[in-house]
Amino acid sequence: MKTDTGDTPKVLVVDDEAGIREGSERILKRMGCRVLTACNGHEGLDILDREPVVLVLLDLKMPGIDGMEVLQRIRDRHAHILVIVITGFATIETAIEAMKQGAYDFIPKPFEPDQLRIVVDRALEKLRLTREAEKLTRERAMTLADLDREKSRTRTIIESLPNGVVVTNAQGQVVLTNPAFLAELGLPLDKPTGSMIHEYVPDEGFCKLVMDISQGCHIDFDDIRPYEFGVSGNRYLMAYAKPVLGERNECLGAVANLTDVTAWKVLERLKSEFVAQVTHELRSPLATIHEQLALVLKDVMEQAPQKDRHLISRAQEKTRGLISTVGDLLDLSRIESGNVGREVKPVAIPTLLENIVSFLNARAQAKAQTLTLTLPDQPLPEVTADPMALESIFGNLIANAINYTPEGGRIEVRAEIAGGAVRVAVQDNGFGIEAKYLDKIFESFYRVKNDKTRFITGTGLGLPIVKGLLDALGGKIFVESKPNQGSTFTVLLPVRPASAESAPM
Ligand code: ADP
């Protein structure tokens, strides 16, 4: 079947009267149509088989095969073609019958050009609207097919991800899982969606996190920390969860991405054990070397020439550096193995700070610095924590203040109550730190290197240790610093130790 898709509609006039054919042809051409004519029904039907006609003007009363029959065949074989019947006054009933048979309109004979124009115009408009509607339907079908293809493509990607993915709705019901998720949790691969999250994941902390996110507690999701939990078979999963937001930033649910971190944890543990073992083995011989070197060299130093004295004091400094590195590494491995905060007890912060300050005062005095401790008038509450961890925290911060402050500088340690916590600030008027390094100094082995700090020995492990210990104790650290003006490291210590269930968030 041929249809006219162009802008010039093709019209066929079927009439045995030459006058009607020619008259109609003239009018239709002026209306911008391409016109074909036939003087009987057979000829008309033949043309329709060959040409993409959209509209037929059909005389009902013709010799041979009559108009009604032609109309029937057009309806059967070319249902899309509109037919306008032309009929004499005497056959108006036939015209009505023709309309019932599916003719679009009729026009009585004889007719004025305007009458024909109006009827044909209406038919062409109807054809145009039909074409438009068909086009829209086709486009809609295509868009739906595209969407469907896109959906199944996304689905395939999610299914083939090596990480587990689970999506919940705002009520916390699971609406999507992938095979990796089901495998990680040891669930049957055909487990359907639709149940609450705790039917899939047996970890309370994870389910609480997902429920909180699903119910919109974390629209500003920068504060959502990765959550690690154990599953059967001594395996560990790390979950990165986020809210699924709608167009108006409303929370539609949560999506969690789960990575199996068992191998990584095993490696980490082995590494920590190795470092702990090696540093432990190194510490006592090193300390012995250092002490014995000091004893032997005390006498030798006085008689030794200037050059040798310099070399000897460098060697001493290096062994002291090594001892402190070994100490730092031991602290780090204690933090990594989770061995911090095991021996908690109530600690009086003023006494602890007094001891550290008086111990480090000798170092400050060697640099002609003033090191002061200011305590509040009212008594500070005792902090329940591991005293070794607290010593390490403040020892590191005060030692740093001494190290990174020039001769004659001022270091002030202040302790006070801050709500339900104890706040300790270590302030110096030393070299300071540029703003761009303030985050970096808490990374392992990171040291700011500039003209002033280049010759100060250190490992870059002090602040990561401080941060690690504070994390374990549920405390916080803040730093404010300006180059050449000084730095203030402020520590907030909770009075009670961090409880296990507050760990995930
Ligand atoms: P280390 O002191 O062994 O280098 P840290 O982790 O304690 O390692 O400190 C990291 C870096 O932070 C130091 O190298 C130093 O550049 C900077 N820093 C730490 N404390 C201060 C301070 N009070 N003033 C200026 N810079 C500091």
pLDDT in tens, 386-415: 898 899 999 999 999 999 999 999 999 999
Lowest-confidence pick of 84-93, 146-155, 334-343, 369-378: 334-343
- Structure confidence at residue 46 (pLDDT): 95
- Structure confidence at residue 472 (pLDDT): 86
- Structure confidence at residue 492 (pLDDT): 96
* Angstrom distance (rounded) from CA 376 to CA 496: 20
Task: Measure 119 CA to ligand 1 centroid, in angstroms.
Answer: 93
| Helices 18-30 and 113-160, axial angle in degrees (round to 10) | 60
Looking at residue 271, the DSSP 8-state letter turns out to be H
Q: Whose CA is nearest to atom 19 of ligand 1?
A: 400
Q: Whose CA is nearest to atom 2 of ligand 1?
A: 458
Indicate the Cα dihedral angle 261, 267, 269, 275, nearest 10°: -150
Q: Whose CA is nearest to atom 23 of ligand 1?
A: 401
Residue 424, phi then psi, degrees to nearest 5: -125, 125
- Structure confidence at residue 3 (pLDDT): 44
**Ligand 1 environment, Cβ below 6 A:** 396, 400-401, 404, 428, 430-433, 441, 446-448, 453, 458-464, 487
CA end-to-end distance (rounded Å), the chain: 69
Using a 10 angstrom Cβ sphere, with 0-12 exposed, 13-18 middle and 19 or more buried, the burial of residue 396 is buried
Band the pLDDT of 220: cuts 50, 70, 90.
low
Q: Whose CA is nearest to atom 14 of ligand 1?
A: 447
* Predicted confidence (pLDDT) at residue 315 exceeds the cutoff of 90: no
Pocket-testing residue among 326, 363, 404, ligand 1, by greatest number of atoms within 8 A of Cβ: 404
* Angstrom distance (rounded) from CA 207 to CA 227: 11
Q: Which positions ≥6 away from 211 have C-beta within 8 Å? A: 172, 197
Pocket-testing residue among 363, 447, 490, ligand 1, by greatest number of atoms within 8 A of Cβ: 447
* Predicted confidence (pLDDT) at residue 445 exceeds the cutoff of 90: no
State the average pLDDT for the chain: 88
Residue 321, phi then psi, degrees to nearest 5: -60, -45
Task: Measure 460 CA to ligand 1 centroid, in angstroms.
Answer: 7
**Ligand 1 atom with minimal separation from the 461 CA:** 6
Give the HSE-up count for residue 106: Cα atoms under 13 Å, Cβ half-sphere: 25
Q: If residue 479 lies in a helix (H) or strand (E), which one and from where to where?
A: strand 476-482
Q: Whose CA is nearest to atom 11 of ligand 1?
A: 447
Tokens of residue 183, six digits: 């495998």
* Angstrom distance (rounded) from CA 405 to CA 374: 19
CB 293 within 8 A of CB 354: no
Task: Measure 469 CA to ligand 1 centroid, in angstroms.
Answer: 17
Task: Measure 293 CA to ligand 1 centroid, in angstroms.
Answer: 28
* Angstrom distance (rounded) from CA 120 to CA 378: 102
Using the structure block, give the residue that is written with the tokens 């002090």: 462
Using a 10 angstrom Cβ sphere, with 0-12 exposed, 13-18 middle and 19 or more buried, the burial of residue 484 is exposed
Q: Which positions ≥6 away from 10 have C-beta within 8 Å? A: 4, 33, 34, 35, 36, 51, 52, 53, 54, 55
* Predicted confidence (pLDDT) at residue 350 exceeds the cutoff of 90: yes
Task: Measure 400 CA to ligand 1 centroid, in angstroms.
Answer: 6
**Ligand 1 atom with minimal separation from the 442 CA:** 6
* Predicted confidence (pLDDT) at residue 500 exceeds the cutoff of 60: no
**Ligand 1 atom with minimal separation from the 460 CA:** 8
Q: Of 201 and 154, which is predicted with more confidence? A: 201
CB 86 within 8 A of CB 57: yes
Determine what percent of the chain is predicted with pLDDT higher than 70: 94
**Ligand 1 atom with minimal separation from the 459 CA:** 3
- Structure confidence at residue 380 (pLDDT): 92
- Between strands 10-14 and 55-59, the pairing is parallel
Q: Whose CA is nearest to atom 25 of ligand 1?
A: 432
- Structure confidence at residue 23 (pLDDT): 93
Q: Of 435 and 92, which is predicted with more confidence? A: 435
Band the pLDDT of 89: cuts 50, 70, 90.
low
CA gyration radius for the chain?
Answer: 45
Task: Measure 401 CA to ligand 1 centroid, in angstroms.
Answer: 8
Tokens of residue 269, six digits: 């543990």
pLDDT in tens, 222-264: 668 889 999 988 899 999 999 998 888 888 999 999 999 998 8
Q: What is the mean pLDDT of residues 316-337?
A: 80
Task: Measure 404 CA to ligand 1 centroid, in angstroms.
Answer: 7
* Predicted confidence (pLDDT) at residue 181 exceeds the cutoff of 50: yes
- Structure confidence at residue 280 (pLDDT): 79
Residue 300, phi then psi, degrees to nearest 5: -60, -35
Task: Measure 274 CA to ligand 1 centroid, in angstroms.
Answer: 26
Q: What is the pTM of this model?
A: 0.51
- Structure confidence at residue 246 (pLDDT): 86
